[in-house]
């Protein structure tokens, strides 16, 4: 009898040890693809797809596939079909979870829902809620079970998303502070989870802050800041990873989870980079080609010749940029306004020297953002310029208006060469995004709307109908004065 009891005890101990053994997982992660689904010289999701399938084949039953948001807005192909090519490839790959990024909101709620539904996976956002108190539009978390491990994956989007999106695209929704949202989620998680994984679209800096505020987090898989972390970053002993942007990298994270102590240990991590030598997954390529074949001849048409690179970077002594000034010149010309204003964040690239194609214009202007004509007094215009330079988040570029700016204020504000008149009414052409108060431009949101023009890219197309070449305007319209250096003007 005693022998049987000892034998049974031995079996139970062995079983307990087996159930609580350390278990291997490989977490593959992408983020900020921004529509780069076609293969190109630095990657593309169709190239990444081939490697994902290869790693899964080499490691059956242990791979988890995650994406940190901003999947679709950013290329002509994806933009034309409102992200469907990216969503179809993601569905084909079978992502386990996707975080919502701030740019998922840019096409409005109906198209956003169509996009996320097409991904055929759990799309997460714990800090997005309905203002009427009804159930949130997207789940806060999902449970991913793999190789005997239960991961609770919680999604978050950047806290400042509301100021980056047009007001009507958020109607009925609001964003909770990230820490508050996570604190709300923690009590609702199943008790038997082994690890808490944050799938964040908030940037590395905010990831670090969150880990220090909420030590219960075991791992952060991030996005938003476009950071290619070549090695794991640790904050408060919590690992943080992120895989750059534009389908240029695949993050490969091997972890070991102790299901007895619910602890997680990183065993290996690296980013895999992609170039022309890396193969395209045939099935993913076929999905994309079905969309691309129709658009290719349209996108290849030349619309202008650019005489030199038009930079989107400011000179050391100015807030404005050559590209921002060029766009502002176009807005002012087409809107027939006194001045025009544009924010640097509205475009992501320089305008290259040489042939400017339809595709290039779509890349420069990925947002469906119309140009609006507003009316402001000179006093309001001064405050707008302050908010767009030294006293805000801007920075702005402009046309028809110049100023000298230091850290305390501005002087020599002129409209079309004449001193600013505080009580005079001026017309301003700008984007709907800025007109709604985006990028902290609160005063613009208070102005009277006179009329609305087409989308930014279409306004440029209309302008180019009468122009064969484009030249880079000089920066310095909003001149940055060094501290302590007096203005030379009157």
Q: Of 17 and 297, which is predicted with more confidence? A: 297
Let me know the angle formed at the C-alpha of 299 by 335 and 246, rounded to the nearest 5 degrees. 95
In order of their start, the domains of the chain are 21-294 (3.60.21.10), 301-480 (3.90.780.10)
Q: Which range among 84-93, 158-167, 240-249, 338-347 shows the weakest confidence by mean pLDDT?
A: 158-167
| Percent of the chain scoring above 70 in pLDDT | 93
| Percent of the chain scoring above 90 in pLDDT | 76
d(CA 437, CA 383): 13
Q: Give 8-19 pLDDT, tens digit per residue.
A: 444 444 444 445
What's the Cα-to-Cα distance from 152 to each of 35, 225, 325, 419, rounded to whole Å? 27, 23, 47, 60
Give the pLDDT confidence score for residue 394 in this predicted structure.
64
d(CA 73, CA 36): 9
351 touches 309 (CB < 8 A): yes
Cis ω on the peptide bond leading into residue 352 (within 30° of 0)? no
Reply yes or no on whether the pLDDT at 486 is more than 80. Answer: no
Q: Give 408-419 pLDDT, tens digit per residue.
A: 788 889 999 999
Average pLDDT of the segment spanning 370-385:
94
Give the pLDDT confidence score for residue 408 in this predicted structure.
74
Q: Of 165 and 94, which is predicted with more confidence? A: 94
Q: Give 109-121 pLDDT, tens digit per residue.
A: 999 999 999 999 9
Collapse the DSSP code of 356 into the 3-class scheme (helix H, G, I; strand E, B; otherwise coil) and give the result: strand
Q: How confident is the model at residue 2 (pLDDT cuts 50, 70, 90)?
A: very low
Using DSSP bridges, classify how beta strands 409-415 and 448-455 pair: parallel, antiparallel or unpaired.
unpaired
Q: Give 322-363 pLDDT, tens digit per residue.
A: 999 999 999 999 999 999 999 877 877 899 999 999 999 988
d(CA 368, CA 192): 45
Q: Which residues, 6+ apart, have CB-to-CB distance to 418 below 8 Å?
A: none
Longest dimension (CA), the chain: 106
Reply yes or no on whether the pLDDT at 5 is more than 80. Answer: no
Q: How confident is the model at residue 390 (pLDDT cuts 50, 70, 90)?
A: confident
What's the Cα-to-Cα distance from 393 to each of 10, 130, 389, rounded to whole Å? 66, 27, 7
d(CA 298, CA 80): 12
Average pLDDT of the segment spanning 422-438:
93
Average pLDDT of the segment spanning 294-310:
93
Q: Which range among 92-96, 100-104, 364-368, 431-435 shows the weakest confidence by mean pLDDT?
A: 364-368
This prediction's pTM:
0.78
Reply yes or no on whether the pLDDT at 90 is more than 60. Answer: yes
The 10 Å Cβ neighbour count of residue 176 is 17
Q: Which range among 33-47, 455-469, 474-488 shows the weakest confidence by mean pLDDT?
A: 474-488
């Amino acid at each position: 009898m005693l022998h049987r009891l000892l034998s049974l005890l031995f079996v139970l101990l062995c079983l307990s040890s087996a159930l609580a053994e350390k278990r291997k997982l490989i977490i593959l992660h992408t983020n900020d693809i921004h529509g780069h689904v076609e293969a190109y010289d630095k990657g593309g999701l169709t190239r990444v797809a081939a490697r994902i399938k290869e790693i899964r084949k080499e490691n059956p039953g242990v791979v988890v596939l995650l994406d940190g948001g901003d999947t679709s807005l950013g290329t002509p192909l994806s933009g034309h079909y409102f992200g469907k090519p990216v969503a179809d490839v993601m569905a084909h790959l079978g992502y386990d979870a996707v975080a919502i990024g701030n740019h998922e909101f840019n096409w409005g709620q109906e198209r956003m829902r169509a996009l996320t539904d097409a991904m055929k996976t759990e799309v997460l956002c714990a800090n997005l809620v309905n203002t009427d108190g009804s159930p949130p539009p997207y789940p806060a978390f999902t449970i991913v079970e793999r190789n005997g491990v239960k991961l609770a994956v919680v999604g978050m989007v950047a806290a400042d998303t509301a100021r980056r999106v047009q007001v009507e695209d958020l109607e009925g929704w609001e964003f909770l502070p990230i820490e508050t949202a996570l604190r709300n989620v923690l009590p609702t998680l199943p008790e038997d989870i082994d690890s808490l994984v944050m799938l964040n679209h908030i940037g590395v800096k905010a990831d670090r802050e969150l880990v220090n505020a909420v030590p219960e987090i075991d791992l952060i898989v991030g996005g938003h800041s476009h950071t290619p972390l070549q090695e794991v970053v640790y904050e408060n002993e919590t690992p943080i990873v992120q895989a750059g942007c534009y389908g240029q990298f695949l993050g490969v994270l091997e972890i070991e989870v102790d299901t007895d102590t619910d602890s997680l240990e990183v065993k290996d991590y690296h980013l895999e980079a992609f170039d022309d030598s890396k193969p395209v997954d045939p099935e993913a390529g076929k999905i994309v080609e079905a969309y691309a074949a129709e658009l290719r001849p349209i996108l290849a048409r030349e619309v202008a010749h650019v005489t030199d690179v038009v930079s989107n970077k400011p000179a050391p002594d100015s807030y404005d940029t050559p590209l921002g000034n060029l766009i502002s010149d176009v807005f002012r010309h087409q809107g027939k306004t006194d001045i025009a204003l544009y924010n640097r964040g509205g475009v992501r690239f320089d305008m290259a020297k040489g042939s400017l194609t339809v595709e290039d214009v779509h890349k420069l202007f990925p947002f469906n953002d119309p140009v609006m004509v507003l009316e402001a007094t000179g006093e309001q215009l001064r405050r707008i310029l302050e908010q767009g330079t030294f006293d805000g988040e801007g920075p702005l570029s402009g046309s028809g208006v110049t100023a000298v700016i230091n850290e305390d204020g501005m002087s020599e504000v002129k409209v079309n060469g004449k001193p600013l008149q505080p009580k005079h009414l001026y017309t301003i052409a700008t984007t709907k995004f800025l007109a709604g108060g985006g990028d902290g431009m609160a005063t613009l949101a208070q102005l009277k709307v006179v009329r609305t023009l087409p989308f930014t890219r279409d306004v440029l197309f209309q302008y180019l109908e009468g122009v064969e070449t484009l030249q880079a305007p000089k920066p310095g319209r909003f001149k940055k004065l060094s501290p302590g250096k007096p203005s030379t003007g009157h």
